């Protein structure tokens, strides 16, 4: 029994070849604090100087079943961007800028070109967010994943001065909620979205998505955007009291995560149009309106909590940065037992 | 279509209940630098003071197909320990002590007791290694994982003073290799080991493992040990020139990872007995001897590279710490084209 490991479905030589290709991608994300080369047991990153009482802010996440859209279309260079941007947003809402990222890619059978495509997306988003791709793990697990399928998870570390951490404790009744547009479904609600689009509506990935001049595959793969470039300057200036990344659980699940006790949020759903993507999913799936807002971001990917006297200035700066912000509600006092998020309409 | 998300196989309420149980486990790992509570978008960890030119050392890893042994036995409280200890060892070999850890657990169907068991193991090993469990992601992906199966990955961040990073650059010809015993297969070679034990030898998880007075399931689930308690004092004292965590690829795959150019390692396989576990796998699988050393750790889980005048003192300290270290070979000069690791026997 020679080459036993290969017979058992694990190809170490293919893993080595993939590693060579990945090196150039990893190197494209290096910065002055990156001290290690790919292949070390751990990645090395010098703690940046000049941050007062530095706090590391860290998050782990996956892409979830959005990966199925990549499998169905054969496009693997976007899911890595989804993953990095999701993680960047998750630490951004606590006031941190990204330092470095690591990925975990588990496959049934190592396909070098798929691995390279996935990491190409990871590296692109790392560069866009000024974040080093410090390492990762590519695991071949033949008995776990279907042929040509994989799972992808990521892990980010960022930094903030302790005094710059956004924890929501300064939020008060009367503070204003300002929304920023999402870029599609981001990475949430895909299990339901796929069921609606493929099973109930009977569409294929190459069909046109109703009301949109694009294919179903393209719409489902729209990249989960990063808000770091637009929001970090506001965070640094200390003008943001709370930030909410609107992911799984939607507004009712995520707004309470930043609210101090005794406060709730009232959201005016008529203040924005979610857009045709969400309209089609709601109608095609016969989904209850409130359920739509629990599962999907409904066009609002990020929510800022601002003191009223900051609203005009912040919205102007956001428009200058290319955003289309809108006032979507406000913070109110609530009694024990009241819902933390209620809809005005 | 109300409760659409649950119908689609994603149970947000179960996810919430699991989160409550996890909170107590996470809290058991808190230390003075842990600034966040579970449920924040990202975990917060203050950079420890008093470390000269602090460098963050980070690694991502999975448990691999060792998870199948957990599925077959229904024991889910050890794989989390495997994962944390593996990650702790990966940054230890670069001179770092662990600060915090995050896990990624992806399942087909959320079984709260399984999730709790897995995280119990993660939290136990975090406590043992003085490492905070800072957060993580539990993903329900019904179309990815078989019912009652899951994948588990982890991310660790540690710290070392820049001058205390072990990068192997001080290794010279004539340096001595000292081995430390592994605690079974650790987390490598499970695809082959399962094929041998279950397919070729026809054993079940409850059968006695040949030559060992324990069940197949228990032997396969032996926890991947941490070497941090024994080795961190030596690392701090600067008496270790190189450390090799003997994982996938075995000694020929891992020793070269710390060797400067022009150097190789000669290993005397007769200097230690791998033990009955590896003897049984080799005979039961008819596996070539060299292949065994590429796939499995063969009883040597960690290798130290020491200057000759340090060997006696370090081995005495290791014995005092409960280890059974042995001299397993040495570093030699090699010409271009020579193998980086050769066996003396």
CA B32 to chain centre: 26
Contacts of B99 in chain A (CB under 8 A): 56
pLDDT at residue B21 greater than cutoff 60: yes
Check residue A115 and give its pLDDT: 92
Check residue A3 and give its pLDDT: 44
> Does any CB of chain A come closer than 8 Å to the CB of residue B250?
no
Check residue B5 and give its pLDDT: 54
3-class DSSP state of A121: helix
Give the B window 56-95 contacts with A, CB below 8 Å. Answer: 56-62, 64-65, 67-68, 90-91, 93-94
Tell me the mean pLDDT in the region B314-337.
96
- Global pTM value: 0.94
> Does any CB of chain B come closer than 8 Å to the CB of residue A267?
no
Set out the domains of chain A in order of their start, with CATH numbers: 4-164 (3.30.1330.10), 176-343 (3.90.650.10)
Check residue A17 and give its pLDDT: 73
pLDDT digits (tens, 9 = 90+) for B174-226: 999 999 999 999 999 999 999 999 999 999 999 999 999 999 999 999 999 99
Q: Give every residue of chain A whose pLDDT is below 50, as ranges.
A: 1-3
**A280 near A209, Cβ under 8 Å?**
yes
Check residue B23 and give its pLDDT: 87
- What is the least distance, in Å, from the CA of B207 to any CA of chain A? 22
Burial category of B20 from C-beta neighbours within 10 Å (exposed 0-12, middle 13-18, buried 19 and up)? exposed
Check residue A2 and give its pLDDT: 40
Mutate to test the interface with A, among B15, B51, B58, B169 (most CBs of A within 10 A): B58
Contacts of A68 in chain B (CB under 8 A): 143
Of the candidates B55, B65, B144, the beta carbon closest to that of A35 is on B55
Q: Which of A81-95, A205-219, B14-28, B296-310 has the lowest mean pLDDT?
A: B14-28
Check residue B211 and give its pLDDT: 95
pLDDT digits (tens, 9 = 90+) for A18-65: 777 888 899 999 999 999 876 677 899 999 999 999 999 999 999 999
Do the Cβ atoms of A59 and B135 come within 8 Å? yes
> Does any CB of chain B come closer than 8 Å to the CB of residue A2?
yes
Tokens 């080799």 correspond to: B282
Tell me the mean pLDDT in the region B158-181.
97
**CB neighbour list of residue B5: distance below 8 Å, 6 or more residues apart:** A189, A191, A192, A291, A294, A295, B12
> Does any CB of chain A come closer than 8 Å to the CB of residue B3?
yes
Contacts of A156 in chain B (CB under 8 A): 42
Of the candidates A41, A44, A162, the beta carbon closest to that of B55 is on A44
What is the phi/psi pair of residue B213, to 5°?
A: -90, 45
Nearest CA-CA partner of A153 in B120, B129, B83: B83
Of the candidates B68, B155, B167, the beta carbon closest to that of A155 is on B155
> Does any CB of chain A come closer than 8 Å to the CB of residue B102?
yes
Nearest chain B residue (CA) to A71: B144
> Does any CB of chain A come closer than 8 Å to the CB of residue B281?
no
Distances (CA, A) of A274 to A69, A176, A248, A292, A296: 22, 20, 17, 10, 10
Check residue A202 and give its pLDDT: 97
DSSP β-ladder status, B97-107 and B132-140: parallel
What is the phi/psi pair of residue B22, to 5°?
A: -70, -25
> Does any CB of chain B come closer than 8 Å to the CB of residue A208?
no
Query: In angstroms, rounded to a whole number, what is the distance separating the alpha carbons of residues A27 and A29?
Result: 5
How large is the C-alpha radius of gyration of chain B?
21
> Does any CB of chain B come closer than 8 Å to the CB of residue A330?
no
Predicted ipTM of the assembly: 0.92
- What is the least distance, in Å, from the CA of A294 to any CA of chain B? 9
Check residue A141 and give its pLDDT: 85
Contacts of B62 in chain A (CB under 8 A): 104, 106, 137, 139, 141
Check residue B7 and give its pLDDT: 55
pLDDT at residue B42 greater than cutoff 90: no
**B41 near A92, Cβ under 8 Å?**
no
- What is the least distance, in Å, from the CA of B95 to any CA of chain A? 10
Count of residues in chain B: 345
Do the Cβ atoms of B53 and A44 come within 8 Å? no
Confidence band, pLDDT 50/70/90 cuts, at residue B339: confident
**CB neighbour list of residue A199: distance below 8 Å, 6 or more residues apart:** none
> Does any CB of chain A come closer than 8 Å to the CB of residue B143?
yes
């Amino acid at each position: 029994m020679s080459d036993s490991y290969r017979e058992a479905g694990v190809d170490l030589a293919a893993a080595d070849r993939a590693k060579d290709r990945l090196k150039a991608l990893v190197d494209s994300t290096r910065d002055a604090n990156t001290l290690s080369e790919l292949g070390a047991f751990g990645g090395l990153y010098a703690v940046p100087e000049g941050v007062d009482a530095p706090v590391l802010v860290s998050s782990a996440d996956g892409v979830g079943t959005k990966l199925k859209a990549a499998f169905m279309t054969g496009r693997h260079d976007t899911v890595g961007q989804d993953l990095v941007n999701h993680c960047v947003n998750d630490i951004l809402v606590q006031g941190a800028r990204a330092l470095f990222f690591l990925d975990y890619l588990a496959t049934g059978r190592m396909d070098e070109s798929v691995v390279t495509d996935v990491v190409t997306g990871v590296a692109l988003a790392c560069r866009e967010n000024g974040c080093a791709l410090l390492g990762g793990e590519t695991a071949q697990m033949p008995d776990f994943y279907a042929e040509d399928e994989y799972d992808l998870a990521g892990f980010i570390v960022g930094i903030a001065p302790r005094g710059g951490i956004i924890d929501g404790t300064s939020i008060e009744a009367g503070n204003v909620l300002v929304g920023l547009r999402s870029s599609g479904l981001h990475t949430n609600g895909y299990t339901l979205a796929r069921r609606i689009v493929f099973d109930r509506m009977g569409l294929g990935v190459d069909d046109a998505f109703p009301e949109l001049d694009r294919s179903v595959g393209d719409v489902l793969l729209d990249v989960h955007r990063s808000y770091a470039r637009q929001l970090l300057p506001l965070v640094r200036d200390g003008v943001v009291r709370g930030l909410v990344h609107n992911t799984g659980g939607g507004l009712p699940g995520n707004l309470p995560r930043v609210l101090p006790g005794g406060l709730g949020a009232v959201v005016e759903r008529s203040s924005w149009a979610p857009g045709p993507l969400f309209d089609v999913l709601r109608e095609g799936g016969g989904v209850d309106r409130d359920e739509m807002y629990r599962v999907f971001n409904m066009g609002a990917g990020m929510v800022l909590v601002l003191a009223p006297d900051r609203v005009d200035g912040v919205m102007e700066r956001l428009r200058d940065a290319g955003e289309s912000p809108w006032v979507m509600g406000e913070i109110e006092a609530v009694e024990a037992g009241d819902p933390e998020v209620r809809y005005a309409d």
